[in-house]
Amino acid sequence: MTAERPTMELIVALSLIVFKVALLIAILLLLPLPLTWLERKIAGHMQQRMGPMRVGWHGLLQPVADGIKLLTKEDHIPADADRFLFKLAPLLALAPPFVVFVAVPFGESISVLNAQVTLYASNLNVALLFVFAVIGLEVYGVIFGGWAANSKYAVLGSLRTCAQMISYEIPMGFAVVGVIMLAQSMSLVDIVRAQSDTWNIVYQPVGFFVFFVAGMAEAQRIPFDLAEAEGDLGAGFHTEYSGIRFAFFMVSEYVIMLLVSVLAVILFFGGWNGALIPLPPLLWFALKVAFFVYLFMWLRFTLPRYRYDQLMAIGWKVLLPLSMANIIITGILLGATAAP
């Protein structure tokens, strides 16, 4: 009996982890459908038009119609393309954002059938390092997608996108060092717990600014969507893609936007910790993330694109020095407060 009990507990624990991961993947795959509808509606209202209206009530079924179109559309592969890498690239772009969410917490725990179930798949003690390491792999999907298509437009788009992503991942990584110094941990759960009294945005406004701007560039959203500058690149690195493979790139973009919003809430806005109004922690977390998703959409239809030289100058000449200065100042202040 004593040998069977640990075995059953291990099976239950593994089954719970598998269920959490499966549920998370299902949500992330379906979430772009309402997000595309919401973004088009927000664009419509900001530009004094209706947005989608014809398919379903207020166009609610338009994302479903778009999904069916992409699933049934011809899967075109250029004749001179590297077929293996051409097929692999969308998967390499899609997989990293999904894998990252395994280490992302959405709350502490909830009670289910008199048992406490944590609202995360795993609480890694190096979760933040894991997030940045895995999300950096997405660049391979971009470069393979452009190069494998054997198209000069796609290659130019992929090179510009890779340069952009690398340029902004560096200040983005430096921007969170101040948060790590304050929490004394790289666990995302510990970082949220450290903000139970005061959110990090109070101590790290510069770090948040750098992180959010770099996050927009990482997600390739306007004003940093040089990857899809239609005026000179067609559609960027995925110019030659169609059907479901094109949909993979689009789903990846929305998942990254959601990931940056979630990380901004966890790192700088207290995660599921509330303020003033007594709401359930999970609801607090969802409202904060929804605000940042709306902010991404709002900025997309408000700001114009930067030129490529402006985009690179912001990354290397503005955000990188700001992030490094933030680390130095945070270290000085922590040393001063810790001194007897």
Which residue is associated with the tokens 């060092």? Answer: 177
Q: Which residues contact 43 (CB under 8 A, 6 or more apart)?
A: 51, 297, 300, 301
Strand partners, 111: 116
Helix (H, G, I), strand (E, B) or coil at 115: strand
Q: Would you state the torsion angle of the CA atoms of residues 176, 260, 253, 41, taken in this order, to the nearest 10 degrees?
A: -150
Buried b (16+ CB within 10 A) or exposed e, 208-235: bbbbbbbbbbbbbbbbbbbbbbeeebbb
Rounded distance between C-alpha atoms, residue 280 and residue 267, angstroms: 19
**Average pLDDT of every residue of the chain:** 86
Distances (CA, A) of 88 to 92, 95, 247: 6, 11, 14
Helix (H, G, I), strand (E, B) or coil at 75: coil
| Residue 196: both structure tokens together | 């139970």
| Residue 309: both structure tokens together | 């030289």
Are residues 97 and 259 in contact, defined by beta-carbon separation less than 8 angstroms?
Answer: yes
Q: Are strands 115-118 and 109-112 parallel, antiparallel or unpaired?
A: antiparallel
Q: Per-residue pLDDT tens for 46-87?
A: 888 888 888 888 889 988 998 888 888 888 888 888 889 888
Which residue is associated with the tokens 């959010």? Answer: 212
H helical segments located in the chain: 4-30, 32-46, 62-72, 83-100, 127-135, 138-148, 152-175, 177-183, 188-193, 200-203, 205-218, 230-233, 243-268, 281-300, 308-313, 320-338
Average pLDDT over residues 292-302: 90
Q: Map out the domains of the chain as residue ranges.
A: 73-338
Are residues 177 and 128 in contact, defined by beta-carbon separation less than 8 angstroms?
Answer: no
Q: Per-residue pLDDT tens for 298-319?
A: 988 888 888 888 888 998 999 9
Q: What is the pTM of this model?
A: 0.90
Between vectors from CA 176 to CA 30 and to CA 333, what angle results, nearest 5°?
150
- Which is nearest to 34 in space by CA: 329, 290, 263, 292? 290
Q: Per-residue pLDDT tens for 165-176?
A: 888 889 999 999
Rounded distance between C-alpha atoms, residue 217 and residue 172, angstroms: 10
Distances (CA, A) of 287 to 25, 250, 279, 284, 292: 21, 24, 10, 5, 9
Cβ atoms within 10 Å, residue 194: 20
Looking at residue 1, what is its pLDDT? 46
Looking at residue 55, what is its pLDDT? 87
Quickly state the pLDDT bin for 4 (edges 50, 70, 90).
Answer: low
Looking at residue 228, what is its pLDDT? 66
